[in-house]
């Protein structure tokens, strides 16, 4: 508990510093309070693992396609059950490809394929995912964006995790009006296992929050906290994360992030990299 409180204190300090750093930029570029809210500001938008853990409330526009290629590395913590092998078998590298297609009327569909390599237990397994997002409330002024997410995952490979359905609420709350506005993102997700094993959870939960701050004309910085229960009872991933999202030319966006495990997390360290192209 003490570790979690200290981590929360550090997170608040970093978030406060980012907000103070963003104020001069906002003053320079915001001509008046009637400027439109940055609902489409790609610097402060977020997608799962791009550059932090949570999923954004934004959806692709009708006919728009977002293609994301991502890679991640995780160093898992050694458990007491590892015994003499506590220093080995803890490295995991993940590659992923995901496409999101705008369907119109606030709807988008996503299809993703992910595979893990390394010497940790989840290695040599993969997962196919399909999800739908419905933006039920569009961001306008200081009004938040609210999006409902539903999906299903189908893992494959030796000793893979159970297949799951997912249901979640995604929120994006602008913290000011006009351009260069920081945005507070939040998620709460419920996962239900369809074919769990004897000693696995039938239901698990995840929650995350991240502050996104535009710090330059094409750059956004993220600081966040995420906690997700594992399918094995008593295990969870709990991370404090920092990320950067950089707009490039030609519809490309580059993202990178890093997170450290806190409290009872089974992940010690994680880094993420990704490239997105919008068509």
Q: Domain 2-278 is classified in which CATH homologous superfamily?
A: monomeric porin ompg (2.40.160.40)
Going by C-alpha positions, the residue among 199, 222, 206, 213 that lies closest to residue 274 is: 222
CB 59, CB 133: distance < 8 Å: yes
pLDDT by position in tens, the chain (length 279): 444 444 445 444 544 454 444 444 444 444 333 333 344 689 999 999 999 999 999 999 999 999 999 999 999 887 655 554 545 568 999 999 999 999 999 999 999 999 999 988 778 999 999 999 999 999 988 999 999 999 999 999 987 888 999 999 999 999 998 888 999 999 999 999 998 778 889 999 999 999 999 999 999 999 999 999 988 888 889 999 999 999 998 999 999 999 999 988 989 999 999 999 999
Beta bridge partners of 132: 109, 150
| Contact (CB, 8 A) for 149 and 168 | yes
Pairing of strands 91-104, 126-137: unpaired
Helix/strand/coil for 25: helix
pLDDT at 23: 46
pTM score of the predicted model: 0.82
- Distance CA(200)–CA(21), nearest Å, equals 45
- φ, ψ of residue 146 to 5 degrees: the values are -125, 130
Cis peptide before 155 (omega within 30 of 0): no
Please state the separation of Cα 74 from the chain's center in Å: 15
Taking every pair of C-alpha atoms in the chain, what is the biggest distance, in angstroms? 64
124: region left, alpha or beta (phi > 0 left; psi from -120 to 50 alpha): left
Alpha helices in the chain (DSSP H): 2-29
Residues in the chain: 279
Residue 26: per-residue pLDDT: 41
Q: Are 200 and 231 in contact (CB under 8 A)?
A: yes
The full set of domain ranges for the chain reads: 2-278
Exposure string for 7-28, b = 16+ CB within 10 A, e = fewer:
beeebeebbeebeeebeebbee
| Separation of alpha carbons 170 and 3, rounded Å | 27
């Amino acid at each position: 508990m003490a570790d979690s409180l200290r981590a929360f204190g550090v997170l608040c300090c970093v978030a406060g510093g980012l907000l103070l750093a963003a104020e001069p930029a906002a003053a320079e570029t915001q001509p008046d309070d009637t400027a439109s809210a940055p609902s489409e500001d790609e610097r402060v938008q977020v997608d799962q693992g791009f550059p932090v853990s949570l999923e954004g409330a934004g959806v692709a526009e009708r006919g728009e396609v977002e293609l994301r290629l991502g890679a991640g590395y995780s160093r898992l913590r050694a458990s007491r059950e590892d015994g003499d092998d506590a220093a080995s078998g803890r490295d995991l590298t993940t590659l992923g490809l995901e496409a999101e297609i705008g369907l119109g009327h606030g709807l988008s569909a996503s299809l993703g394929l992910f595979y893990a390599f390394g010497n940790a237990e989840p290695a040599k397994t993969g997962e196919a995912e399909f999800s739908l997002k419905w933006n039920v409330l569009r961001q306008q002024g200081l009004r938040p964006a609210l999006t409902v997410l539903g999906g299903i995952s189908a893992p494959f490979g030796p000793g893979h995790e159970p297949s799951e359905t997912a249901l979640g609420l995604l929120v994006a709350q602008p913290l000011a009006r006009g351009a260069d506005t920081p945005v507070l993102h939040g998620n709460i997700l419920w996962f239900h296992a369809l074919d769990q094993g004897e000693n696995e959870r039938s239901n698990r939960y995840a929650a995350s929050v991240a502050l996104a701050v535009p710090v330059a004309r094409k750059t956004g910085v993220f600081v966040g906290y995420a906690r997700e229960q594992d399918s094995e009872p008593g295990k969870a991933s709990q991370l404090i994360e920092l990320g950067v999202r950089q707009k490039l030319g030609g519809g490309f966006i580059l993202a990178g992030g890093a997170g450290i495990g806190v409290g009872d997390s089974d992940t010690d360290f994680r880094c993420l990299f990704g490239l997105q192209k919008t068509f």
